[in-house]
Amino acid sequence: MKAQLLQKLQDKSSRIGIVGLGYVGLPLAKLYLQNGFPVYGFDIDEKKITALKEGRSYIEHVDAKQFQSASAQGKFVATTDYSRASEVDALILCVPTPLNEHREPDLSFVINSLLSVLPHLKAGQVLSLESTTYPGTTNEELRPRIEERGFTIGQDFFLVFSPEREDPNNPKYSTNTIPKVCGGETEACLEVGMALYRGVIETIVPVSSTQAAEMTKILENTFRAVNIALVNELKIVAERMGLDIFEVIRAAATKPFGFMPFFPGPGLGGHCIPIDPFYLTWKAREYGVATRFIELAGEVNTAMPDYVIGKIMAALNEHGKAVNGSRILVLGAAYKKNVDDTRESSGLALIAKLQGLGAQVDYSDPHVPVMPEVRKYSFDMRSVPLTSKTLAEYDLVLVATDHDRFDWKLIEENARVIVDTRGRYRQKAGKVYRA
């Protein structure tokens, strides 16, 4: 069975099933189509399926026209019918792994996706989990359920973990050029997993187990979270000393070795970095280890929106105003510049906090024309166009995300007060405040 599956993956006759057509699954589905593989796209959201069949994209940086033409040619199937998992040779799970209300891992999307395809699995398939999770998930949660169906992992069914490394709208790296880490439950699983990705990814990085692959992704994101916490804390220190932390970081970044620049902001955003370190701390407790350093970094980053609120209060106070009743315009709903992804965005947290304090809040984001519903927030809001007239109507403009498409000169010239969390402006007494 392994030899037959390897041959199908090599000659690109294998059907690839992508479960979860979001920011990870959709670009991956497109990549497989571009490389000649037949693709099945599975999602529980009927709106996404309809959009793809009509050639409409719901993710800004992914052109969906290819999906419509491929569908017409019979090369792409978009469906909510998970029974069709029996028609594919490979299944790749690309579903969310959020935290629950207790900041503990919520694997419900992974488990429910597996349970949806489980009755339809067949001998000779490979299943890869890409969702970021704690070390041991593939072995402890997926493998037993698959084996209960009577399969023997590594002989008639193959199981791997290969973490996603998407960085939306990155001009330097794309899905196919970012090296792909892959770990298998057995050596045969690893061999099949590498063949699964070799047809679309330039560089495959094998590791010894699914646990090692899971730990690799957790390490990557924890590294970022800890370093962002460091510069967020140093931002506060520098501000007290009258120093510009952005100037200091850029100067330090000229050192050609031993330093990597990270920049402060209003908190953490995106699906991975605010969440993944907590997956590791939760799992570490099972082994009697207290990850104090990581948890402290989480506390620092989680506190940043409140720090920004304090700066907003102080700026308004200098102009004889309270937050309650003030009109505030938040620039940027997306979690980072030049994307439309609002998951775990600090901008949304700031909107909610400001509304809770009685402010009249609007937002402007050229990448997010209508505020989507996310797990934590539900705002009935539309992006406000930036003009000299509209900017002048607000008591304060908050720079939450520094999109390149914003007219920064127009903003500076017409806003009454600016609180800048991204270092776009130099501080200016009575006008621009750093946060």
Return the exposure string of 136-151: e unless at least 16 CB atoms fall within 10 Å of the residue's CB, then b.
ebbbebbbeebeeeeb
Cα 113 from Cα 356, distance rounded (Å): 36
**In Å, how far are 98, 302, 309, 384, 435 from 353, measured between CA atoms?**
21, 13, 8, 19, 15
Q: Which residue in 85, 93, 80 sits closest to 119, CA to CA? A: 85
94 flagged as catalytic = no
Cα 429 from Cα 225, distance rounded (Å): 32
Q: Which residue in 171, 203, 209 sits closest to 187, CA to CA? A: 209
Q: Where are the beta strands (DSSP E) in 225-364?
A: 327-331, 360-364
CB 257 within 8 A of CB 292: no
Q: Which two tokens stand for residue 314?
A: 């102080």
Return the exposure string of 408-433: e unless at least 16 CB atoms fall within 10 Å of the residue's CB, then b.
eeebbebbbbbbbbbbbbeeeeeebb
**In Å, how far are 226, 231, 278 from 262, measured between CA atoms?**
10, 7, 20
Task: Kindly list the catalytic residues.
Answer: 272
